Amino acid sequence: MPVPRHASRNLVLRPSFEPAEVRAFADDSGWAFFAEVDADPERGIFYEVRWDTADGGTVHYIVDEVVDAIYMVARHDDPSIAEQVADRIAAALPLWTLDELLNDFDVHVYPAGWAKALLRLGAGAPKQADDEVVMRVKESIGHTNAQVRAAAVWAMVYTEWPVFRDVLADMAETDADPDVAAEAAKAVREFDRVASSAS
């Protein structure tokens, strides 16, 4: 079965979770195991397990090496059904809530921790733009540390929020670090490609 069109928000699992919990929940939910994909960092492929659901959707367990986090995502051709499945996962498994992701970001002062918390916040952000997340990302693009600014680029990419398109375009033109500027420019092209395909 092809991957359905619409994805739910990413459901970021807490470090304390056990993979057996996920397997048990998948079995209890009646999901049918479809495939396991080994990681291939050179090709940008993450380790992933996919299940098919009885209603024509899919559920994915992803070990994301960019954000150093594990999350799940539900997909369905009907976005409301994808979110319903995500809600059931959120009620059953140990996940970071948005408030917890925001608070985790707020307690980090040093660049390495700041960048990691920002990446996780971007990966776990809701589908619709959230002012609290936007504020923290915009705060980060002015950081003196290039690692933090690069994390801000990735966080914006993960959210896929159109509000960030012009922010990224500005970073592509003005960031002092050429690598960060190049990543921002690449992100702008991807935002524009997605917008063009949706129109």
pLDDT value, residue 178: 98
Q: Which of 123, 101, 104, 122 is nearest to 113 (CA)?
A: 104
7 phi and psi angles, rounded to 5 deg: -105, 145
The predicted model gives 77-101 an average pLDDT of 96
pLDDT digits (tens, 9 = 90+) for 9-22: 999 999 888 999 99
Q: What percent of the chain has pLDDT over 70?
A: 99
Average pLDDT of the segment spanning 92-120: 97
The amino acid sitting at 23 is R
Provide the pLDDT for residue 197: 79
Percent of the residues in the chain that have a pLDDT greater than 90, as a whole number: 89
CA dihedral 51, 57, 61, 67 (to 10 degrees): 160
pLDDT of residue 158: 96
Residue 140: the pLDDT is: 98
In the predicted model, is pLDDT for residue 45 greater than 90?
A: no
The total of other beta-carbon atoms located within 10 Å of residue 97's CB is 11
Is the pLDDT assigned to residue 96 strictly greater than 90? yes
**Was domain 6-92 assigned CATH 1.10.357?**
no
All structural domains of the chain with their residue ranges: 6-92, 98-198
159-199 confidence digits (pLDDT tens) = 999 999 999 999 999 999 999 999 999 999 999 998 887 76
pLDDT at 131 over 80: yes
Query: Comparing C-alpha atoms, which of 195, 194, 111, 106 is closest to residue 146?
Result: 111
